[in-house]
Amino acid sequence: MKFNFYRRSDNRISFSPYLKVQLLDRDLIFNSLKDIVPFIMACIDKGYYVQPTVNEYFLPDSVAYQQKHLVHETLIYGYDKQTFIGIGYNKQGDYATYHIAFSELEQAIVLADLTHHYDSEGLRIFKYASHKKYNFDIHLVQEQLTDLLYARNTSQRFRMLANPDDGAYGLATYECLKHFLASFLYPPFSFDIRPAHILWEHKKCMVDRLKYMENHGYLKSEYGFSTEYGELARNTGMVRMMLLKFKITRNPDLIHRVLSSLGKIAESEKILLQNLLDKLHGSI
């Protein structure tokens, strides 16, 4: 199931004003196999992170290694004498640093078929743009929180740039997540912790956002919104842990507990967002 933070459909990375991003056509940059390693090293030397699209069948730390052809991006950020240093999900499902030999990465890049891949260019480089400035926009915050609360399709706001994406948005995604997790009760199924992990990360991000607004005078800290969202973050973290336990035990009671917890979390977040928007409207 595709479950993630909202990203504009026409641009998966450069939505951030703090990133300098270059989208490159792999076929133009790499005229031959021998061009790959020097180019990536030169980018890293200039402070760039390199994100090539690769065939994970050839990545030793990937769960797909020598098992299936999986075309996906990976992130390279360093190198030593004979290996590149990257970060991604390993065989254990952990997001961790890995080392890959130059020859292995060359093979993974060259043998990645981009024909039907959403990132047809196959190569992106980006780095932190330290000189850029973006002023905090409290009115935009209100717009986005309203989209979240009322499950509005945020991609409609960018239809001048790309056709809107159908799907569930905002709080409506809870029901989609519950439906997906309920499928774990009926084998065979494909276990995937990522949607629950994304939900947990979102609540943690909300805590940080609210703390920023409290620290900069947009919200009074005595309202307790960051504390309440902290409780949601803890509860979604518990959901994630129950799912990891289910992965080992296959105890269906855990799924029933997860579904019940998600219903309560969704209702709590709805009330919290309503109160938050009321306070923001009253303070501006």
SS3 content of the chain, % helix, strand, coil (to 5): 50, 15, 35
Average pLDDT over residues 174-179: 98
SS3 151: coil
Residue-wise pLDDT tens digits, 181-208:
999 999 999 899 999 999 999 999 999 9
Hunting for tokens 């518990």 — which residue is that?
A: 238
According to the model, what pLDDT value does residue 13 have? 59
Distance CA 16, CA 14 (A): 5
Average pLDDT over residues 225-231: 98
Residues 172 and 123 in one domain: no
Q: What is the CATH number of the domain that holds 94?
A: 3.90.70.30
Asked if the model's pLDDT at residue 282 lies above 90, the reply is no
Q: How confident is the model at residue 228 (pLDDT cuts 50, 70, 90)?
A: very high
Hunting for tokens 């499928």 — which residue is that?
A: 183
Q: What are phi and psi for residue 116, nearest 5 degrees?
A: -115, 15
Residues 204 and 122 in one domain: no
Residue 228 inside a domain? The answer is yes
Asked if the model's pLDDT at residue 73 lies above 70, the reply is yes
Prediction pTM value: 0.85
Residues 215 and 150 in one domain: yes
- What torsion, rounded to 10 degrees, do the Cα atoms 251, 257, 263, 265 define? -110
**Residue 42 belongs to what domain range?**
19-128
The answer to whether residues 93 and 63 touch, using CB atoms and an 8 Å cutoff, is yes
**Which of these three, 128, 155, 176, is where a domain ends?**
128
Q: Which residues pair with 270 in a beta bridge?
A: none
162: left (phi over 0), alpha (psi -120 to 50) or beta: beta
- How many domains would you assign to the chain? 2
60-96: burial string, b at 16+ Cβ within 10 Å, e else: ebbebbeeeeebbbbebeebeeebbebebbbeeeeee
Residue-wise pLDDT tens digits, 10-34:
555 556 889 999 989 888 888 787 8
